[in-house]
Amino acid sequence: MSQLDLRLTKAIPFSGSKRLELIIEAFNLFNITNYDVSSVDTARSYQVFDPDTFQLETLPNPRFGTYTATLPPREIQLGLRYVF
């Protein structure tokens, strides 16, 4: 997995110790495709019912060992925080 997360904060002071913080956060900043390792198809074969012979037929799984999902793409969020 390869990704870069970034957070920038700008504090705007008010009277006393009060301040307003402007926040921007970016996750997977460069939008790199990361595959979800928990989504690997681990079934070597699967079974199909044949209604003509009333038998289960075992077939090899063509997706064995492949990823079926990715992690989220680039996400950006904005926020405000008032500290008093």
| pLDDT at site 2 | 84
Q: Are 26 and 75 in contact (CB under 8 A)?
A: yes
pLDDT, tens digit, 9 for 90 and up, residues 21-70 = 999 999 999 999 999 999 999 999 999 999 999 999 999 999 999 999 99
Sketch the domain layout of the chain as residue ranges: 6-83
The whole model's pTM is what? 0.67
pLDDT tops 90 at residue 75 = yes
- For the chain, what percentages of helix, strand and coil (3-state, to nearest 5) are there? 5, 50, 45
